[in-house]
Amino acid sequence: MAAYSKFLTARHSAIAGAAAACALLCLLSKRRGAAQHGKRSGKQALQNNEQKEGKKERAMVDRVFIARICRILKIMVPRTLCKETGYLLLIAVMLVVRTYCDIWMIQNGTVIESAIIGRSRKDFKKYLFNFIAAMPAISLVNNFLKYGLNELKLCFRVRLTRYLYEEYLKTYTYYKMGNLDNRIANPDQLLTQDVEKFCNSVVDLYSNLSKPFLDIVLYIFKLTSAIGAQGPASMMAYLIISGFFLTRLRRPIGKMTIIEQKYEGEYRYVNSRLITNSEEIAFYNGNLREKQTIHKTFRKLVEHLHNFILFRFSMGFIDTIIAKYLATVVGYLVVSRPFLNLSDPRHQNSTHAELLEDYYQSGRMLLRMSQALGRIVLAGREMTRLAGFTARITELMQVLKDLNSGKYQRTMISQEKDGDKKQPLSLIPGSGEIINSDNLIKFDHVPLVTPNGDVLIEDLNFEVRSGANVLICGPNGCGKSSLFRVLGELWPLFGGRLTKPVRGKLFYVPQRPYMTLGTLRDQVIYPDTLEDQKKKGISDQVLKEYLDNVQLGPILEREGGWDSVQDWMDVLSGGEKQRMAMARLFYHKPQFAILDECTSAVSVDVEGYIYSHCRKVGITLFTVSHRKSLWKHHDFYLHMDGRGNYEFKKITEDTVEFGS
């Protein structure tokens, strides 16, 4: 031990410190080299992503950040008098009370120590009893502060989540974000984890900045009377200089936070994709291929987290020296001045016990003040991280606003071929006109164009009135589903005039029907609720007739009645789900219905009954099917050849039926 103490001389300590600094520089150089190598090796693969995301990954503590955070705060604190304001005031009051409690504990603790050193049993018992008596009140203050912080985090999350989902679930915005706009890759990650982390970060920052600022103000007031104004002024100057220096060094944290959340979202997506498509992957025996995909995504996340950890390590090394140890050195220099200056009038006639008590009290206050200064300096690191979350939430809000106003951003691909003499179409999303009219669907010079800019049919013209069923046929990729997406207003109109009923009078039945979470009744009446069913005056007996019409009557008894709750996607077979979707169609009774291969798992006799019943109740059908047996249930056919041509004709006895 003696040899070890001998080794720890100032000279050897300096050598050890220099070695540690060299090791840190080597680590930083290694990290920078690895990052540069990653950029060079993946330059081609990431070029498009960098161009697309170069602007949106800007996340620094600047004017843009202040404007963004103020915009979001207006959502989380909508009024002056609201629950959130009450919790903000509660936290502010508790912070003030807690600071005064800290000052009282410093003063009382110093007096207790002075009584112990002075061997005064009376003073020791008196001030120790005061401390014991104050413990419940101090504990109550601390827990009221924690309660206010936790409730404020929850309130902020509720406000922001409700606002975002109100925008996200407005009309078809949730569909457009994933299919028309490619700015947001993982909205589920943003709407859940990022919102929670943002709210927690905002509230923590409010507490971590308010308390130190309050401490500094009160301790400056106390210390100015004890050691003069020069000491606190020196500490404040140190705060400003060190804060500015560390803020410049921490700038990469915001961008690294954005990338971290992006990679977390991608990793979560590939896992949820495996669960959603587990049956198909199992049939293909694709577990090894999926494992490679998951490991590749996870490896990318781990590499970034490793670099982030290394950066935080290097910043932590600098932060600790500047915000903690150098702040302590400055504190020692400031507090020692009036004691080491023998001509200072304050301590010329003080006894040793009085000097000791004054030093302890001033020293502890200055220590608390330096700690508060350090917390403010370190809070800049959390503020930079908050800037990353703020940039992501603001981007989501902007995309939702654009989509709800009919704007979207997506790369448009020109389909003009070499030697094509035709004038290219002017592709302007939303330039077409939609007219709502009952009992009529009319395409008037409407180009059939995908959101990506692929022109499937340049000029589509046909008219269908109620009562005339239409069979749509053609090869895969010719535009059958695209036609329905335009008709359902999922895709924008690139020109022409489309006349159709309002959305509620046009119903779509897909090949893979959607089964909602809820009861058996909910599967029939979706998207209506039980209250909507009662308003329409439709009884459960009528619902039973709808099930009987599609030969699903026995399912009511088999599954335990209308209020039975099951995982209906797994409980019902493929054919049962398709027939359930047809019962849902009978319940809603729209003017027009789009049937997209929705009876492929249903027998021919049941299929024929369903089509006959639709004609009986006045539902006009647009059907996509390859079955010859369905031609007799339709009046017109629309054939697309996949090369931009189409044919719309009436079905007669001479019409050549094609299909299987």
pTM: 0.71
- Identity (one letter) of the amino acid at 61? V
Q: What is the pLDDT of residue 229?
A: 67
Tokens 């239409």 sit at which residue? 470
Query: Could you give the 3-state DSSP secondary structure of residue 595?
Result: strand
Query: Could you give the 3-state DSSP secondary structure of residue 132?
Result: helix
Phi/psi for 623 (5° steps) reads -115, 135
Which of 13-17, 440-444, 593-597 is predicted least confidently? 13-17
Q: Say if strands 506-509 and 592-596 run parallel, antiparallel, or are unpaired.
A: parallel
CA–CA gap between residue 261 and residue 263 (Å, rounded): 5
CB atoms within 10 A of CB 477: 12
Q: Tell which wins on pLDDT, 421 or 149.
A: 149
Is the separation of the CB atoms in 544 and 562 below 8 Å?
no
pLDDT digits (tens, 9 = 90+) for 332-390: 777 777 667 667 666 666 666 667 767 777 777 777 777 777 677 667 777 878 888 88
Q: Tell which wins on pLDDT, 117 or 347.
A: 117
Q: What is the pLDDT of residue 418?
A: 44
Q: Tell which wins on pLDDT, 286 or 80.
A: 80
* Tokens representing residue 334 in the block: 């400031």
Element holding 447 (H helix, E strand):
strand 440-449
Asked whether the predicted pLDDT for residue 117 surpasses 90, the reply is no
What is the share, in percent, of the chain residues with pLDDT greater than 70? Answer: 82
Query: Could you give the 3-state DSSP secondary structure of residue 172?
Result: coil
Q: What is the pLDDT of residue 86?
A: 92
* Tokens representing residue 244 in the block: 């500015």
Is the separation of the CB atoms in 509 and 598 below 8 Å?
yes
Q: What is the mean pLDDT of residues 457-461?
A: 90
* Angstrom distances, CA of residue 655 to CA of 52, 273, 340, 473: 51, 44, 111, 14
Which of 24-28, 142-146, 182-186 is predicted least confidently? 24-28
Asked whether the predicted pLDDT for residue 90 surpasses 60, the reply is yes
Per-residue buried b or exposed e for 391-406, using 16+ beta carbons within 10 Å of the residue's own CB = bbbbbbbebbebbeee
Q: Tell which wins on pLDDT, 184 or 52.
A: 184
pLDDT digits (tens, 9 = 90+) for 21-35: 454 445 445 444 544
Q: Say if strands 470-473 and 620-624 run parallel, antiparallel, or are unpaired.
A: parallel
Which of 146-155, 281-290, 498-507, 647-656 is predicted least confidently? 281-290
CA–CA gap between residue 307 and residue 27 (Å, rounded): 10
Q: What is the pLDDT of residue 520?
A: 92
Q: What is the mean pLDDT of residues 111-121?
A: 81
CB atoms within 10 A of CB 435: 11
Is the separation of the CB atoms in 249 and 311 below 8 Å?
no
pLDDT digits (tens, 9 = 90+) for 208-264: 887 777 777 777 777 776 666 676 777 777 777 877 787 778 778 878 888 888 888
Asked whether the predicted pLDDT for residue 45 surpasses 60, the reply is no
Asked whether the predicted pLDDT for residue 53 surpasses 50, the reply is no
Q: Tell which wins on pLDDT, 589 or 656.
A: 589
Q: What is the pLDDT of residue 541?
A: 92
Q: What is the mean pLDDT of residues 185-214?
A: 85
Asked whether the predicted pLDDT for residue 450 surpasses 90, the reply is no
* Angstrom distances, CA of residue 482 to CA of 179, 261, 431, 435, 491: 12, 34, 17, 19, 8
CA–CA gap between residue 389 and residue 385 (Å, rounded): 7
Peptide linkage before 527 cis (omega within 30 of 0)? yes
Task: Using pLDDT thresholds of 50, 70 and 90, give the confidence band for residue 158.
Answer: very high
The secondary structure of residue 461, as a DSSP letter, is E
Tokens 């700015």 sit at which residue? 183
pLDDT digits (tens, 9 = 90+) for 283-309: 677 788 888 888 989 999 999 999 988
Task: Using pLDDT thresholds of 50, 70 and 90, give the confidence band for residue 152.
Answer: very high
Terminal-residue alpha carbon distance, the chain: 93
Is the separation of the CB atoms in 583 and 547 below 8 Å?
yes
Task: Using pLDDT thresholds of 50, 70 and 90, give the confidence band for residue 87.
Answer: very high
Is the separation of the CB atoms in 377 and 244 below 8 Å?
no
Q: What is the pLDDT of residue 657?
A: 65
Burial label for 564, CB within 10 Å (0-12, 13-18, 19+), is middle
